Structure 1
């Protein structure tokens, strides 16, 4: 007979399956292997959600985790922090979960590990569960019950490119460049390089990464074409008709690849933009907070099969991650120095404390010595950062369509239906309601679940001032001067 929790998850009108888990290279041993019996009772669990909105809350009792020993994967970036903090602060153990954490060589290895079951869950690019479920690249059903963070990325260019950009920039009273810096300032540099027979090469971390789409968005807003994909023609280079050639470079290798001259710029998460500043090899020119204020970044991915087979475990791991995210933002970022010490360990991010702290503690350094206050550069909990909004998933899908990874027109309903297969606010709500019932987090710190539709209000804070409404994806696509629109096919 199914438990109450399992019934809630399996009867959700959009309950589906997800791919598998990720493999890695470095690992932590679980803090404890004692098999204490966790008798914590949780009440007021979960909503089963409909295709458009959430239904009434069901009261249930969460049982013991069906699977206690878990292995999670991550890439060495500061936004993996909720996993590290949930481990270090004992939040996983509070749920009766004994977690091993393994660093992965790159996003492809990580994704394959989830799919083949070597990992039970992973810190993922938001585009990975979406693309896999859609069947772009690898076909596998992966879901996310938890959004890991907002913001956290930047675009860095080489010193040579910066010297060419800087003279044309507006300056403030102190002589420093006025931000945000738009790609308009880069366009003449790209044109010069191309005229000299030097293709303008830039790095991003993965074809379905936020970094790819943010870099493309910034370039296109400045009149620089970042190129198209044409998978129906067997072309997955993303460089068709491109003014700037984008290719994949693993995050930790970005600075050295820039220094070698293989690429002239890149988009990556921290600490690899600040590393370029510390090494004196490049200048971050814009953050993703300036491209799209409070944009969604990474997610925690599990297979749909895992969620179906282990519903109690799924809610419990989500509870632990939510608590970790809240700790990271508590006390007006007052816990961040401690978090930086943890992340600086070689088995997590492994960069110098000062490099990680440069952005993690609420500042960001552009040109050497030009350090500015950016308190929301990394957001883990506030602004409902952890809630998996359908509209976030749909934005990624619009960019996949804009640049040709989705070859043909799709209806608005297609976008919405796919988003509901991947983003699982029903699971998130079950975890959140139980935390509220346990008086671990206040009700007012979560979205109003009774009113929540899964769609953010239209978002206006983009670098090109184009408004994004997740309920109207095709209308949104029609607003761009560069990119595929309805009826377009390469």
Structure 2
């Protein structure tokens, strides 16, 4: 991997050559001739070893960052907390983040900081896996279709297993990757839709296990399979390739994907601090341009996906077997060993305006933070709208999109040019509830399990 420093030296050489050329007609690379250069050229971005870090990998490997005059180093991080802390203190310029992290920081849950996003990295990509022992108890209770278990699997079947654990005086434990992660909210959503209480966050219980039927705890993504195999947890919700790894190793069974919990749900974002964005507006737009191009490339063909799988399998990126990564990245998903089914939209990077940072995506996360007690007090609808606009920045995204259109690298039809930042009312949830981002408190009132209005734990 070429170092950022050596690339910078090449950039300086070209810049000097431009100055020496004066009015001559020496042909130089496009970025060397640009007057509107990024404020900061050498950048370090963080990521977690998950399949959906791939837009950063492709932007780097395909030299889309280079095309923008950016010299980027990518660095794997130990866990989501370390990653967020390093962005906040400036050790990283930006990072692959959980969609809830900029929002959680903004409202002061866990860490208080001004973090924003102008780019959504993907849709879908997570699943819920249970141990072989739990699956052995669930499977006989499930309907069959053509000799296979019928999907999607609802949590009301798991409830019967959890009730049995309770009767035996045994806790039922599940892992998720971070308190403000999509995985936490998706797992909670699925459990609650099946009549299981996933617990509440309170001032005295920052673990979120108050009044819980299922005890949820944090485990870093790459450690999920080993933690399940050790028997420390009975199941988990995580991104790929760590569900398919459980199948590959024969230690667990994925029972449902997030696509089946909420069709085309937003997953990761690219996050930076507000201060960094204000100091480096041209750099920020350049980064978003490169990432948009990467996501376009990823959804352009299956051949590109296969190439991406090979890149992700490298030890400095995700480091899992190609077969494991390819199981979900190439349009299929394997539940039980040998039960591989088509799931073409399990990983979406550009289709359905996946890269646009919709306010409605932000508001959904905020409603779930309120539902489970991370936001302790009732908030008016206006608070949800204002907080979303503070953190999610589609106007920055659109500057990058329009620049790509002007350069002939994208078409206007690729982007939601006339969007007000909101998707329309969304269906496709496991419990049949319709989500309307313009009515967040009405949405919260629809749930049987969870906080609403002025309720507290």
TM above 0.5, yes or no, is yes
Question: What are the equivalent positions in structure 2 for 1:28-47 lying under 5 Å apart?
Answer: 29-30=3-4, 32-33=7-8, 34-35=10-11, 36-37=14-15, 39=30
Asked if structure 2 preserves the Cα contact closer than 8 Å seen for 1:41 and 1:63, the reply is: no
Shift of 1:234: 3.0
Q: Does 1:160 align with 2:133?
A: yes
Query: Which of 220, 225, 229 is residue 201 of structure 2 equivalent to?
Result: 229
Asked if structure 2 preserves the Cα contact closer than 8 Å seen for 1:76 and 1:348, the reply is: yes
Query: What is the rounded CA distance, in whole Å, between the counterparts of 1:193 and 1:161 in structure 2?
Result: 10
Query: What is the rounded CA distance, in whole Å, between the counterparts of 2:35 and 2:269 in structure 1?
Result: 24
Asked if structure 2 preserves the Cα contact closer than 8 Å seen for 1:391 and 1:470, the reply is: yes
Query: What is the rounded CA distance, in whole Å, between the counterparts of 2:303 and 2:444 in structure 1?
Result: 40
**Residue in structure 1 matched with residue 290 of structure 2 by the alignment:** 320
**Residue in structure 2 matched with residue 308 of structure 1 by the alignment:** 278
Q: Deviations over 1:77-129 (max 9, x none)?
A: 00000000000000000000000000000000000000110000000000000
**Residue in structure 1 matched with residue 179 of structure 2 by the alignment:** 207
**Residue in structure 1 matched with residue 432 of structure 2 by the alignment:** 465
**Residue in structure 1 matched with residue 220 of structure 2 by the alignment:** 250
Query: Which of 118, 126, 146 is residue 145 of structure 1 equivalent to?
Result: 118
Q: Which runs of 5+ in 2 are unaligned?
A: 16-28
**Residue in structure 1 matched with residue 211 of structure 2 by the alignment:** 241
Asked if structure 1 preserves the Cα contact closer than 8 Å seen for 2:31 and 2:69, the reply is: no
Query: Structure 1 residues 276, 347: closer, same or farther in 2, change over 3 A?
Result: same
Query: What is the rounded CA distance, in whole Å, between the counterparts of 2:49 and 2:419 in structure 1?
Result: 33
**Residue in structure 1 matched with residue 341 of structure 2 by the alignment:** 372
Shift of 1:443: 1.0
Asked if structure 2 preserves the Cα contact closer than 8 Å seen for 1:150 and 1:294, the reply is: yes
Query: What is the rounded CA distance, in whole Å, between the counterparts of 2:404 and 2:373 in structure 1?
Result: 42
**Residue in structure 2 matched with residue 298 of structure 1 by the alignment:** 268
Query: What is the rounded CA distance, in whole Å, between the counterparts of 2:171 and 2:138 in structure 1?
Result: 17
Query: What is the rounded CA distance, in whole Å, between the counterparts of 1:375 and 1:62 in structure 2?
Result: 43
Shift of 1:194: 1.6
Q: Does 1:109 align with 2:82?
A: yes
Does 1 or 2 have the higher relative contact order (CA < 8 Å, sep 6+)?
1
Shift of 1:203: 0.1
Q: Does 1:481 align with 2:448?
A: yes
Query: Which of 152, 155, 158 is residue 186 of structure 1 equivalent to?
Result: 158
**Residue in structure 1 matched with residue 96 of structure 2 by the alignment:** 123
Shift of 1:41: 11
Question: What are the equivalent positions in structure 2 for 1:367-406 lying under 5 Å apart?
Answer: 367-406=336-375
Query: What is the rounded CA distance, in whole Å, between the counterparts of 1:346 and 1:128 in structure 2?
Result: 26
Asked if structure 2 preserves the Cα contact closer than 8 Å seen for 1:39 and 1:64, the reply is: no
Normalized per residue, which structure has more helix? 2
Q: Deviations over 1:224-267 (max 9, x none)?
A: 1000001xx23211000000000000000000000000000000
**Residue in structure 1 matched with residue 415 of structure 2 by the alignment:** 446
Shift of 1:135: 1.1
**Residue in structure 2 matched with residue 434 of structure 1 by the alignment:** 403
Equivalent position SS for 2:238: strand
**Residue in structure 2 matched with residue 132 of structure 1 by the alignment:** 105
Equivalent position SS for 1:218: helix
Shift of 1:62: 7.9
Shift of 1:39: 4.7
Question: What TM-score, normalized by structure 2, do the two folds share?
Answer: 0.94
Shift of 1:170: 0.8
Query: Which of 172, 190, 195 is residue 218 of structure 1 equivalent to?
Result: 190
Q: Deviations over 1:290-323 (max 9, x none)?
A: 0000000000000111111011100000000000
Query: What is the rounded CA distance, in whole Å, between the counterparts of 1:316 and 1:470 in structure 2?
Result: 30
Shift of 1:28: 7.4
